[in-house]
A and B are shown apart, each in its own frame.
Chain A
Amino acid sequence: GAGVSQSPSNKVTEKGKDVELRCDPISGHTALYWYRQSLGQGLEFLIYFQGNSAPDKSGLPSDRFSAERTGGSVSTLTIQRTQQEDSAVYLCASSLDQRENEQYFGPGTRLTVT
């Protein structure tokens, strides 16, 4: 079946602009996660959605970052007033539910802020 998909695969934006990154999880997966990975670094947890529960936003680095998950499926990560330090690969993952430890990752969106 289809895996996790993300769009766009690459995004170049100017400092100060807003960007939206999209994630389509695996059908039937109720848990969805956003991470970011800077060059040579580990994955940094950003936000976690589980079903209709309030999301765990504890990893969002600033109030310029927000995410939504509509209808329990597709998720959008929005970064407002982008800064150069926001440049990274943004990875989305989904799992069957919050107790399922195996997370399936999408290919990521490579964001470059110039």
Chain B
Amino acid sequence: RKEVEQDPGPFNVPEGATVAFNCTYSNSASQSFFWYRQDCRKEPKLLMSVYSSGNEDGRFTAQLNRASQYISLLIRDSKLSDSATYLCVVNMQEGGNKLVFGAGTILRVKS
């Protein structure tokens, strides 16, 4: 089993739609969780951290379910510019910084 698993997609949605991605992780001792965004042929960039209580940043909402070992990302009112690959990232190492990246979920927002 992979340490971090994501549905590769692609998710094809119209502008204005709400879309959600899930990600599961294998290590129950994992410490912290993130969503990164990667545009085509570009480097990954941090989108948001995922906190235990859930957190929201504008149109983006991230949630963590430790019991089931998954995290989610919800995007509301999708924009064309949201088209990208969304990487689920898990820090496996307490006191350190060993990030494990999922393979990513492709989102395509169409007009």
- Give me the interface of A with B, judged by CB distance under 8 Å: 31, 33, 35, 40-43, 45, 48, 56, 91, 95, 98-103, 105-108
Contacts and interface: CB of A to CB of B under 8 A. Distances in A.
A105 B45 contact: yes
Contacts of B97: 31, 48, 95, 98-101, 103
A101 B102 contact: no
B1 interface: no
B108 to A, nearest CB: 15
B43 A106 contact: yes
B96 interface: yes
A99 B95 contact: yes
Given A42-B104, A101-B32, 14 more contacts: A31-B97, A33-B99, A35-B101, A42-B87, A42-B101, A45-B99, A56-B98, A98-B95, A98-B96, A99-B97, A101-B49, A106-B43, A107-B43, A108-B43
Contacts of B103: 40-42
A100 B103 CA distance: 22
B21 interface: no
A69 B8 CA distance: 35
B98 A102 contact: no
Contacts of A43: 44, 87, 101
B13 interface: no
A45 B100 CA distance: 7
Nearest to A41: B103
